[in-house]
Amino acid sequence: MKKMLALIMAMMLAAAAGIAAAETGVEDGVLTVAMECAYAPYNWAQPDDSNGAVPIKDHPGQYANGYDVMTAKAICEANGWQLEIMQLDWDSLIPAVQSGIADAVIAGQSMTAARMEAVDFAGPYLYATIVCLAKEGNPNTEAKGISGLSGTATSQSGTIWYDTCLPQVKGATIVPPAESAPAMLMAVESGTVDFVCTDMPTAQGALIAYPDLKLLDFAGTGDDFAVSQEDINIGISVRKGNTELLDAINACLKDKTAEDFNALMADAIAVQPLSE
């Protein structure tokens, strides 16, 4: 009887191990990565496969490219996986990983404590500086620090830019957030708001599309945004407990330096469509 119970227990453990393995999401050799495909230079959509762009699932004739796609391709190449890109709204990214619709999110997400309660993070795969953008002719372009900013301001919904950084600007009137990075940039370009808060890569990409914007970087002034490492460390999210996938991604990132990340971001910015 004891031998039978031991056998049953061993079978149950083996089955459990099999279930756990099946939950990594890449047993079929395909890594499904979710992103907005509307957040240049991190990620964007384009109508062809130029510059190494990857087809977007369920969007015939549309291809994804950008820093996140380049990063995902490197991870897949290192592990012998195929890459599948899924386009989702920003607020749908973490739920997609939690539900198993996507295996990972590579979309410029800050590794905040709140997000870490919902998902596990690999990385960082980038370190981001917080900056502002204002249009030429706006008084904010002369600001020497955040205390010199004033007027209306916004940023993208669900980001530390909007939730953590903008409230630190005492002279700002914060209006409702933009639903996406392009909408945020259009708000400052059109004059709907006086300035926006974002990160350095997004701002650098914006200057290509909107050369009449000015980048405001207050680093080193003593009058800058107060942010923690979790705010500026950009990571790759996977389902809670998916340690096998987490370890595989971290193995690809562990030897990368900030200079490596910045060089790849420069490559992404160089091929970013002007329409973004």
pLDDT band at 23 (very low <50, low <70, confident <90, very high): low
In the chain, where are the structural domains located? 27-127+233-270, 130-218
* Residue located via tokens 């890594």: 31
Give the model confidence (pLDDT) of 228-255 as tens digits: 998 899 999 999 999 999 999 999 999 9
Average pLDDT, rounded, for the chain: 91
Give the model confidence (pLDDT) of 186-227 as tens digits: 999 999 999 999 999 999 999 998 999 999 999 999 999 999
User: Which uninterrupted H or E stretch holds 83?
Assistant: strand 82-87
The residues, any chain, with a CB within 8 Å of residue 194's CB and separated by 6 or more, are 134, 138, 139, 140, 150, 151, 152, 153, 188
Give the model confidence (pLDDT) of 83-140 as tens digits: 999 999 999 999 999 999 999 999 999 999 999 999 999 999 999 899 999 999 999 9
Q: How many helices (H) and strands (E) does the chain have?
A: 10, 14
Q: Burial letters for 219-251: b for 16+ Cβ neighbours within 10 Å, e otherwise? A: eeeeebbebeebbbbbbbbbbeebeebbebbbe
Confirm whether 27-127+233-270 and 130-218 share one CATH topology: yes
Position 231 scores a pLDDT of 87
State the burial class of residue 140 (Cβ atoms within 10 Å of its Cβ: 0-12, 13-18, 19+).
Answer: buried
| pTM exceeds cut of 0.85 | no
Q: Which CATH class is domain 27-127+233-270?
A: alpha beta
What is the rounded average pLDDT of the residues 32-60?
A: 96
Q: For residue 182, which of 202, 165, 158 has the smallest C-alpha distance?
A: 202
What CATH number was assigned to the domain covering residues 130-218? 3.40.190.10
Do residues 103 and 26 make contact, with C-beta atoms less than 8 angstroms apart? Answer: yes
Interatomic CA distance for residues 119 and 146, integer angstroms: 32
Position 133 scores a pLDDT of 98
The C-alpha angle with vertex 252 and arms to 246 and 256, in degrees rounded to 5, equals: 120
C-alpha dihedral sign at 14, 16, 21, 27:
positive
Q: Is the pLDDT of residue 12 over 50?
A: no
